[in-house]
Chains A and B, each alone.
Chain A
């Protein structure tokens, strides 16, 4: 058990651990998305019969969570460490607990619990059962057995583990303000890397994103996705689906979507996601 000293140290330790468990280490997907689950390495790859073991960091954007860099733990972009193991192994809980050991969380000093938490993503038409994992009363991971994605049964079932990296790092390193997190071992702070980004992106998300254009972009992405689905191109179609989803999130944070419209937009994205999952299933069966 090695002591973690920095944000990147935490990422490296998790990558190293999961690589040793046979996971492919992917690089972050180069598009905006709300969570690591949206990455096609999760959404699409948890469908179909083939084994799949990956781990990756995914920058995750939630425009409405932005606080102009003024809140110690709210960010419009944070990082998730995502692990998918398909099929879910019998010793999945042991694998997970050992990953905590690898980042310095000793189960004989901490109080670790698996607390019921069922996961559902209305936009992805996905759900699963599992827990949130508590460490001394704090949620440090999301632990899910995927049952359905895009309305399709996952067979076999995948194990999904999501670690919220900033929150976990703050916990392991005992830091109260995210911007004070040591980014590396040489004195670089998280704030030096991301504070400007939070300030400027918050301004964009809340004040300056061009809503007319965003509405057009949403329609454009929706149409492109449908067009590509007709061509049976699940992967590019899914990129358009992710675009539509993120565009919706931006519109939401600009406050131009009413409560009633909200459901309609979510349903639209879900329809796209379902289409992508269906075409993907056809792709891999062919």
Chain B
């Protein structure tokens, strides 16, 4: 078995595109291997800012001959058709064709043998095609090139078993890059000369010697452990930041950590501001003290081991950060000169959406809706209204215009500084939460009311103008908003009906609740339940008054079904339902809903009936309290009587009255279980 090494050496590829580039290139090459009938074992992809590399192993060095068959017309077809087929097959007479029977008719076939030959012979064209087909979010031409790529491409290694694959990548009319076996190391830390490689191991090792860590995972691990070590050496810890880490991995081939510091007085600015500025503008890691408080340190990853131990780099970075933090401090001081409330009127100039009006209108709606929801969940209505009114005011402050990701958080700080009270400030601060599956959900009642109101208003608004998520497109993050609504309701045990909430929001827009909105949210709910590991059939079987109620049913029904008792009971209940459904279909008979006690004949049916009657009050009370497991246990307790009924009693009695009465008994069982879930779907 042979292996293939490909490297594309380029000018710096944007960090955010590298992972997708690895994956896409691997897919484009392996797809083409497959379609050419070339097997392989494993494909490993690597990338740095300047290169994408693939190592594909377990490729046969030669391809087997492939016999291809071309089906022609029937032997009885007109001469013209046969002549046409001969021409297509490229042979002179029917003697070069074979005949075969297909479903009773003889057809001509042309068999050709595609010579397999050496694998290496087909690789050149295949690789060039894969390179040309790379999908980039944005691509460009350079020099005289007519092809487009993410940035200028400089070299291509294509080695099959150590031999250069014959091939080239056309850049334009008279320029191309021939495949070879050479590459370059680190831009500054190697001697800058090209070097030859003979295999993947050799390639990786020589790159390492030339100060390039090829593998993303290795780089990532090194960066994070370096960052932690650096923080630890100063008696601190580094703030974990996966997104930042991932980006830094894409910015350096040879990461070297340095710690710098800034003046203490900057720590008077909110920590989120400093951390955001350091991350977004400078790609620095934040450093925390033992109590988790932000310190005046930062860690940067250089792409070079400098000759002066980093003196220059640290000095320069500190200087840049000082200017950044001075800016931030300026915004903070400036914004605090006015109360948060005084920013609100300027929301009249900021658009929520072209068809949904200005932010000032949204703020009005939030004021009402947050108040309404607060009333329903027993939270402070006045505080919720106030928080709703001011929630968006920070959008016009200097700080949020500079750092949009601090929206809400800054509003919280400014509210507190404007004397709005803790409850209102906290609600404003967290009203965009939860922002993702790992983000915390607000729990304080007023905060919950506002967070719900903000998301409902967004979903209802966009659905009402027909802006719904489709496929992978969800430009207004409505799925995330829906998940937010779901989590806020479930995690805070709020049993409000979804339709009521949607109506309250739609009323404020003066529209009806868009048709498909409730099912959109229910779908997200089901996806979430599945994600939590609940079985599909249970999720589909329940309905309920609120999402919370549905979840309770799903959880308790799931637990019940995991017991033997539960399994047996479901089997019995389903048997009852099946019989009923069969009989209903057969005769379209309308069932009696009441069992007539007088018409009960067999002792087993009498027993079952009295058992059902006796559990009824307890069952009702469980259902009312949402104790579905308790309700099901009541039913399970009479399961043996159900079984006996099935064993000893013939439902389809000759006497129509007795039969109808027995069917009514089954119907009663169906009614019981139907108050828990649709058991026919289990």
Contacts and interface: CB of A to CB of B under 8 A. Distances in A.
Interface in B281-323: 282, 284, 300, 302-304, 306-308, 312-313, 315-317, 319-321, 323
A180 interface: no
Interface stretch (A107-115, A236-244, A270-278): A107-115
A89 interface: yes
A118 B151 CA distance: 11
A137 B307 CA distance: 18
B38 to A, nearest CB: 33
B140 interface: yes
Contacts of A116: 12, 14-16
A107 B188 contact: yes
Contacts of A87: 143-144
B304 A90 contact: no
A157 B11 CA distance: 16
- The size bracket of the interface on A is 20 to 34
B306 A109 contact: yes
A115 B251 contact: yes
A118 B303 CA distance: 22
Contacts of B143: 87-90, 156-157
A118 B152 contact: no
A253 interface: no
A138 interface: yes
A111 B142 contact: no
A136 B316 contact: yes
A89 B145 CA distance: 11
B154 interface: yes
Contact of B313 (A110, A155, A157): A110
Most chain B CB atoms below 10 A, which of A88, A93, A137 = A137
A72 B15 CA distance: 33
Contact of B316 (A90, A114, A137): A137
B355 interface: no
Interface string A111-129: 1111110100000000011
B265 interface: no
Contacts of A131: 12
Interface in B138-182: 138-145, 150-152, 154
Nearest to B251: A113
A97 B302 CA distance: 17
A73 interface: yes
Most chain A CB atoms below 10 A, which of B15, B16, B320, B321 = B320
B349 interface: yes
A76 B12 CA distance: 33
B322 to A, nearest CB: 9
Interface string A125-166: 000110100011110000001010000000111000000000
A111 B140 contact: no
A136 B138 contact: no
Contacts of A115: 12, 251
Contact of B140 (A109, A129, A135, A136): A129
A88 B49 CA distance: 21
A155 B145 CA distance: 8
Nearest to B15: A116
B320 A157 contact: no
Contacts of B321: 137
B14 A128 contact: no
Most chain B CB atoms below 10 A, which of A87, A109, A111, A157 = A111
Contacts of B144: 87, 155-157
Contact of A136 (B154, B188, B317): B317
Nearest to B12: A114
B261 to A, nearest CB: 14
A145 B188 contact: no
B269 to A, nearest CB: 19
Contact of B154 (A90, A114, A135, A156): A90
Given A73-B323, A90-B152, A93-B11, A138 B303 contact: no
A259 interface: yes
A112 B307 CA distance: 14
Given A109-B307, A129-B151, A145 B313 contact: no
CB-CB nearest 10 A-B residue pairs: A136-B316, A116-B14, A114-B12, A111-B302, A129-B140, A137-B317, A137-B320, A107-B188, A87-B143, A138-B320
18 contacts: A73-B323, A109-B306, A111-B316, A111-B317, A113-B251, A115-B251, A116-B14, A116-B15, A131-B12, A136-B313, A136-B317, A136-B319, A137-B316, A137-B321, A145-B140, A145-B141, A157-B143, A259-B349
